[in-house]
Structure 1
Amino acid sequence: MAVAPGGFSRYASQPVAQGSSPSLANAPAGNSRTLVDVIRALEGASTEMVERAKTIFFPGDPAERVYLIRRGAVRLSRVYESGEEITVALLRENSLFGVLSLLTGHRSDRFYHAVAFTRVEMITAPAVSVRQAIEDDSGVGLLLLQGLSSRILQTETMIETLTHRDMSSRLVSFLLVLCRDFGVPGDQGITIDLRLSHQAIAEAIGSTRVTITRLLGDLRSAGLVEIDRKKITVLDPIALAKRFN
Structure 2
Amino acid sequence: MSTVNLTVKTIIKDYLYNFETISLKKGDSLTLYKREVLPVLYLLSLGCLRLSKRYSNKKRTIALITPNSVFSFYSKSGFKDAYHQLEACALSYIIIYKPEVSIFFIELFHIQYYHLEYFNELLYTRNLLNRLINLLLFLCKFFGKISKRGILINLEITHEELSQIIGTSRTTITRILNILKDTKFISTCKRKILIHNVLYLSCLFIFL
Q: TM-score normalized by structure 2?
A: 0.54
AA matched with 1:103? L
AA matched with 2:119? M
Tell me what 1:166 maps to: 127
Q: What displacement does 1:237 show?
A: 0.6
Q: Is 1:244–2:205 an aligned residue pair?
A: yes
Mapped to 2, the partners of 1:27 and 1:174 lie a distance apart of 42
AA matched with 1:207? T
Percentage of identical aligned residues: 25
Decide which structure has the larger Cα Rg and report it: 2
Q: What displacement does 1:183 show?
A: 0.4
Could you tell me which runs of 5 or more consecutive residues in structure 2 were left unpaired when the two chains were aligned: 13-40, 47-65, 71-96
Mapped to 1, the partners of 2:203 and 2:150 lie a distance apart of 16
Tell me what 1:194 maps to: 155
Q: 2:188 touches 2:194 (CA, 8 Å); kept in 1?
A: yes
Mapped to 2, the partners of 1:198 and 1:167 lie a distance apart of 14
How many residues are matched? 131
AA matched with 1:199? E
Q: 2:67 aligns with which of 88, 93, 108?
A: 108
Mapped to 2, the partners of 1:30 and 1:243 lie a distance apart of 52
Tell me what 2:4 maps to: 28
Tell me what 1:182 maps to: 143
Q: 2:44 touches 2:68 (CA, 8 Å); kept in 1?
A: no
Mapped to 2, the partners of 1:194 and 1:209 lie a distance apart of 18
Q: What displacement does 1:147 show?
A: 1.2
Q: 2:43 touches 2:69 (CA, 8 Å); kept in 1?
A: no
Mapped to 1, the partners of 2:105 and 2:191 lie a distance apart of 34
Q: What displacement does 1:108 show?
A: 2.9
Q: Within 5 A, what are the aligned runs for 1:120-139?
A: 139=101
Mapped to 1, the partners of 2:169 and 2:69 lie a distance apart of 27
TM-superposition CA deviations, 1:188-212 (whole Å, max 9, x none): 1001111010111111111211111
Q: Within 5 A, what are the aligned runs for 1:36-47?
A: none
AA matched with 2:105? L
Mapped to 2, the partners of 1:174 and 1:194 lie a distance apart of 13
Q: Secondary structure at the match of 2:145?
A: strand
Summarize the Cα distance change of 1:109–1:186 in structure 2 as closer, same or farther, 3 Å threshold: same
Tell me what 2:78 maps to: none
Q: What displacement does 1:29 show?
A: 6.0
AA matched with 1:209? R
Could you tell me which runs of 5 or more consecutive residues in structure 1 were left unpaired when the two chains were aligned: 1-24, 40-99, 112-133
Tell me what 1:233 maps to: 194
Q: What displacement does 1:149 show?
A: 1.3
Mapped to 2, the partners of 1:171 and 1:243 lie a distance apart of 12
Superposition RMSD in Å: 3.3
Q: TM-score normalized by structure 1?
A: 0.47
TM-superposition CA deviations, 1:169-202 (whole Å, max 9, x none): 0000110111111101110100111101011111
Mapped to 2, the partners of 1:176 and 1:110 lie a distance apart of 29
Q: What displacement does 1:151 show?
A: 1.7
Q: Is 1:214–2:154 an aligned residue pair?
A: no
Q: Which runs of 4+ in 1 moved over 6 A?
A: none
AA matched with 1:194? L
